[in-house]
Amino acid sequence: MPVHKDVVGRGFFSNAPRKLESSPNLRRYTRRKAIGGAGFRALKTVESLGQKLDSFLKLTRRNAALGDVLELSHVLKTRQFKMRLPNEELRPREYLEEEEVERLVKAAAKIGRHRLRDALMIRMAAKHGYRAAELCALKWSQIDLDSRNAKVRVVRLKGSEDSVHFLNREEILALKKMRELYPGSPYVFGHERGSKLSPGAFWKIVKRAGALAGFPFPLHPHMLRHACGYRLTNEGKDTRSVQAYMGHRKPENAQIYTKMSPDRFRDF
C-alpha cells in the first residue's frame, strides 16, 4: 500500500527514505528507527514519548493496513523502553574532586581480577584527562619509562591536540608491573589474550568502583577527564595551559573548569 507523502519529512520520519512504498517497508523502518534505535533513546520525558507514539499511530492508521497497526501497537505496548534521565537528575555534578578520585582508585584496587590495571586506568584518566577511548587505545610505544624523566605521549581523539605529559612515581611503578603482567601486548590496558580493553569495559570498571566506594550517584569515565581540568584550575593554572594539557583546540572549551573552580572567589 502506498505511503502518504506526509509520512516522509515530518519530525519523527525526517530521515526516512523518500520511497516507503509499502506498509512492510514502513513497519521495518519504524522498528529500526523507533524501537531500540537512537530516536527513543534520546527522549527525555515520558510525555514526549507519548506524543511521538500518538503521532506515529495516527500516521500509520492513515497509511497502513489495520493488521500492521495492530501488530505495531502490540509491539509498542509490550516493549520496555529504557528512558535515559537528564544528567542533572542522575548526579549533582559531572566531575570528581581529588579526594574522590583517590577513593575511587583505592576501591578499584580491592575488587576484580585485574585490580592493578583497573586502579591505574582510573589514576591515569584523572591525571592526564584521558577520554575513555583514548585511554583504552594507549600503547607501550607512547610511553617512555627508561629515560630519567618518564613521560607519555597523549594521543587525543575528536580533533583535539596531542601532547606529552610527565609520569609521576605511582604511575611509573604501576606501569612497570603492568609490563611484566601483560607481556607481548602492544596495548597498555588489555586482556590476557592481548586485545585492548573497550571503552564500555572501562565504563563498567568505573561504575563498579564507584559503587564499592560508596558514591551516592552513578559515575562514568568522562567525570575523570573533568576531574583533571578541575584539579588544574584549582592549582592556579591559567586557561591556556589547561587548554593545552587537556588537548582542547579552543580556549572556551577549557573555561568550563574555571567556572567550576571556587578559587577565583577566594579574595572576595
Class of domain 90-265: mainly alpha
CA distance 166 to 128: 9
Respond yes or no: is residue 33 known to be catalytic: no
Q: Which one of 95, 230, 245, 257 is the catalytic residue? A: 257
Respond yes or no: is residue 222 known to be catalytic: yes
Residue 150: the pLDDT is 96
Domain ranges of the chain: 5-78, 90-265
Respond yes or no: is residue 225 known to be catalytic: yes
Q: Which one of 114, 127, 225, 237 is the catalytic residue? A: 225
pLDDT in single tens digits along all 268 residues of the chain: 444 444 433 444 444 444 444 455 555 555 555 544 444 444 444 556 566 666 666 665 555 555 555 555 555 555 554 556 676 667 888 899 999 999 999 999 999 899 999 999 999 999 999 999 999 999 999 999 988 899 999 999 999 999 999 999 999 999 999 999 888 889 999 887 778 999 999 999 999 999 999 999 999 999 999 999 999 998 989 999 999 999 999 888 888 887 767 766 777 7
Secondary structure class of 44 (helix, strand, coil): coil
Q: Which of 220, 186, 179 is nearest to 203 (CA)?
A: 220
Respond yes or no: is residue 114 known to be catalytic: no
Respond yes or no: is residue 165 known to be catalytic: no
* Cell numbers representing residue 142 in the block: 607512547
- Residues with Cβ < 8 Å from 48, sequence gap 6 or more? none
3-state secondary structure 194-249: CCECCHHHHHHHHHHHHHHHCCCCCCCCHHHHHHHHHHHHHCCCCHHHHHHHHCCC
Answer whether 109's CB lies under 8 Å from 207's CB: no
Residue 215: the pLDDT is 95
pTM of the model: 0.69
Q: Which one of 106, 165, 207, 222 is the catalytic residue? A: 222
Q: Which one of 27, 128, 131, 237 is the catalytic residue? A: 131
Residue 222: the pLDDT is 95
Q: Which one of 158, 193, 250, 259 is the catalytic residue? A: 158
